[in-house]
A and B are shown apart, each in its own frame.
Chain A
Amino acid sequence: MASFPFELVSPERIIFSGDVETVVIPAAEGEMTLLASHAPMMTSLKTGFLVVSSGKGEERILVQGGFVDVGPKGATVLAERAMPVSELNGEILSREISRAETEHETVEDPVLKAAAADTVAQLREAKASLGM
């Protein structure tokens, strides 16, 4: 399968950089899979797992919000927060959940509130699916 360069960066560091075959992203309007020579596109992300697969295997990364920029030469994900599943544990997830919950409680804007509620639900789901 054809591969394309893909990069996942969070504000603190580069989390993934390399050639990949497919990337599944939790886009704002539903999951989508990126393949090589995808049409240039720009979308925002919601909370969920991003699955990167190259020839060697696949890697799952939990992302919370951000943007995807698919250009003619490859794709870049600018995640607000991102954590490879290998670095996750129950404690970190619980902390993230409580953070999202406080945000849900404090925000007043209805659109942001709904987004925060969604984040809480997604994080809970992520926690359950990882069995932590």
Chain B
Amino acid sequence: MPSLKDLRNRIASVKATQKITKAMQMVAAAKLRRAQAQAEAARPYAERMAKVLGNVASGVQIGPETPRLLSGTGKTDTHLLLVCTAERGLCGAFNASIARLARDTANRLQAQGKTVKIICVGRKGYDILRRTHGKLVMELIELRSVKVLGFENAEEIGKKVLNLYAEGEFDVATLFYSRFRSVIQQIPTAQQIVPAEIPQAAEEAGSGAVYEYEPSEQEILEKLLPRNVSVQIFSALLENGASEQGARMSAMDSATRNAGEMIKKQTLTYNRTRQAQITKELIEIISGAEAL
């Protein structure tokens, strides 16, 4: 039976924790609004990009001159997994679910006899994957020092990926991130970025118009494709940012609620114990008086 002092201490400590989780929830809510606005602001660019790419690519015949970013290397032996997670924890299953998806994919590919290489963006994903797939991780890109995510950050990662591709380090690249659906729902997603997947809908929409190209189709495609990789990474990072804050917000909300429940339960125990002690003392006094 814990003493009254123990109970008091325990309640105080839960209260302090609750204050922290409450504060974290509010901070996450404020950050979520910003991250969501940023993700929404960036969406039109990604959409148009996909449309334009669809238009251009639908007019190009796949041949030996087609940029390799579109046609692929012709094999699927080596896969690069680009795993984007958060830099910080305490956001529910956010990091774990992305890492799980990446790990399952890696295991599946390895079972098929493919070579898997991993690049982690974000510390947390690396921490999780390191345990099981440490040898496969080529690089860890940290974005901890980045306050507001700009296109430059994505471009940097994009360039790295493109350089690796040019050197023949991999044949297929897949991006892992969490799509933001709502505050309580984030969907871990795997998306192939190299070779480029051409959206079907855009192809249909673009087939009507005959385009003039200046400079040539080929040159524009060569510029568009590397750019598309960076754009995909950028939008993935932004979606991830919003998802992270959403996940943290709901995780901290339930933590605050749990702390509240715990406080209630412990306060009840505290009061009961206190009452029991008072009763016991009274009985002692009364029986003492009776004995006289």
Q: Which residues of A contact B (CB under 8 A)?
A: 7, 9-14, 27-29, 39-44, 67, 69, 71-72, 76, 78, 80-81
| Contact partner, A11, options B56, B209, B212, B231, Cβ 8 Å | B231
Label chain A's interface by main secondary structure: strand
B215–A11 touching, CB < 8 Å:
no
Chain B residues with CB under 8 A of A13:
41-42
Q: Contacting chain A: which of B44-52, B123-131, B186-194?
A: B44-52
Are B48 and A43 touching (Cβ within 8 A)? no
Is B270 at the interface (CB under 8 A from chain A)?
A: no
The answer to whether B52 touches A11 (Cβ under 8 A) is no
For the complex, would chain B's binding face be called helix, strand, loop or mixed by DSSP majority? helix
Task: With both chains docked as a complex, state the minimum distance between the C-beta of B199 and any C-beta of chain A, in angstroms.
Answer: 15
> When A43-B220, A44-B220, A67-B224 are in contact, do A12 and B214 touch as well, CB less than 8 Å?
no
B227 in contact (CB, < 8 A): yes
Interface residues on B, range: 20 to 34
Q: Is the CB of A72 within 8 A of B231?
A: no
Q: List 22 A-B contacts (CB under 8 A).
A: A7-B44, A7-B48, A11-B151, A12-B41, A14-B44, A27-B214, A28-B214, A29-B215, A40-B211, A40-B212, A42-B55, A42-B211, A42-B214, A43-B213, A44-B219, A67-B52, A69-B52, A71-B209, A78-B45, A78-B48, A78-B49, A78-B52
A111 to B56 CA separation, bound complex (whole angstroms): 22
In the complex, chain B residues whose CB is within 8 Å of the CB of A27: 214
Residues of B that sit less than 8 Å from A by CB: 38, 41-42, 44-45, 48-49, 51-52, 55-56, 150-151, 154, 208-215, 219-220, 223-224, 227, 231, 234
Please report the C-alpha to C-alpha distance between residue A81 and residue B48 in the assembled complex, in whole angstroms: 15
Contact call B224/A43, Cβ cutoff below 8 A = no
Given known contacts A11-B234, A12-B151, A13-B41, is B214 in contact with A43 (CB within 8 Å)? yes
Q: Which residues of B contact A78 (CB under 8 A)?
A: 45, 48-49, 52
CA separation between A29 and B214, bound complex, in Å? 8
How many A-B contacts if CB must be within 8 Å?
72
Of the residues A28, A71, A80, contact of B215 by C-beta under 8 Å: A28
Please, how many angstroms separate the alpha-carbon atoms of A44 and B218 in the complex?
A: 12
Which residues of A sit under 8 angstroms from B234, Cβ to Cβ? 11
Q: Which residue of A9, A41, A43 is within 8 Å of B45 (Cβ)?
A: A9
Chain B residues near A41 (CB, 8 Å)?
Answer: 211-214
CA gap between A7 and B44 in the complex, in Å:
10
B44 close to A69 (CB less than 8 A): no
State A89–B55 Cα separation when bound (angstroms): 37
Give Cα A98 to B45, complex, Å: 26
Query: With the chains together, A40 CA to B227 CA distance in Å?
Result: 22
- A43 and B211 CA atoms in complex are apart in Å by 10
Q: How far is the CA of A105 from the CA of B56 in the complex (A)?
A: 32
Task: State whether A69 and B48 are in contact (beta carbons under 8 Å apart), knowing that A11-B151, A43-B220 are contacts in the complex.
Answer: yes
* Complex contacts, A80 vs chain B, CB 8 Å: 227
Output the nearest chain A residue to B47 by Cβ-Cβ distance. A9
Q: Which residues of A contact B219 (CB under 8 A)?
A: 44
Which B-chain residue is minimally distant from A27 (CB atoms)?
A: B214
